[in-house]
Structure 1
Amino acid sequence: LKNVVGNAFKFTDEGKVCVAVGPDNNGVRISVSDTGIGIAPELRPAIFEMFRQGDGSMTRRHEGVGLGLYIAQSFVKLLGGTLTVGSVPNKGSTFYLWMPLHRATTSNVDEMQRAS
């Protein structure tokens, strides 16, 4: 989540960044929306790849090596979730993070209380 929110602020010079959280199909959905530069449709399939950036030119305005979204998606997948994006160039992007939630049982709660 840190990398996704960080990118939202990095690529939004003016406007806003909004984070929303809510329940969704036995899980939790977190959306991170911004009014930044957006992502061109042809670049979207590659943004979760290692070392990929929207602007690979030597004169690009934004720093980074292109690992943030790759790392974010890798962790999300390890935890059984999904990370997707919707975007309109020059209007902004919304990243959708969904993570499964498992109901706590009485034994889990008791175990956590003993551990604390």
Structure 2
Amino acid sequence: MLLKPEAAGRQIIYHSFLYYGLDINEIKDAEFDKLCVFAADNWDALSDDMKKKLGSAEKLRASGYHCLMSQQDLYAAAEKLRRPILIPPNHLNAFIKKPGHLMPVSVRCFLR
């Protein structure tokens, strides 16, 4: 795989959010699984922040459902999609009130 482990982690968070939070599937399941296995196999090369977002190597081999995302990850997803993302108020408040708060990628969001 040509990606660095940290870049693979960012792709996992992005695609997990699209799939679980927005019902958008941009890549095939097999491609996503390869990203997860690659990141899990290179767990020690990931930053502590990325490890926190991805959970554990064992969980990552099974699914991206458990992953967490930051406000920055959410804004990056919106930018890449070139569409505003509407976040339910209870989750948006958590982002605003707690700097550094991580939100589940599975939170139901909507595209404007």
Q: Name the TM-score, length of structure 2 as normaliser.
A: 0.25
Larger Rg: 1
Question: Higher helix share goes to which structure?
Answer: 2
TM-score by length of 1: 0.25
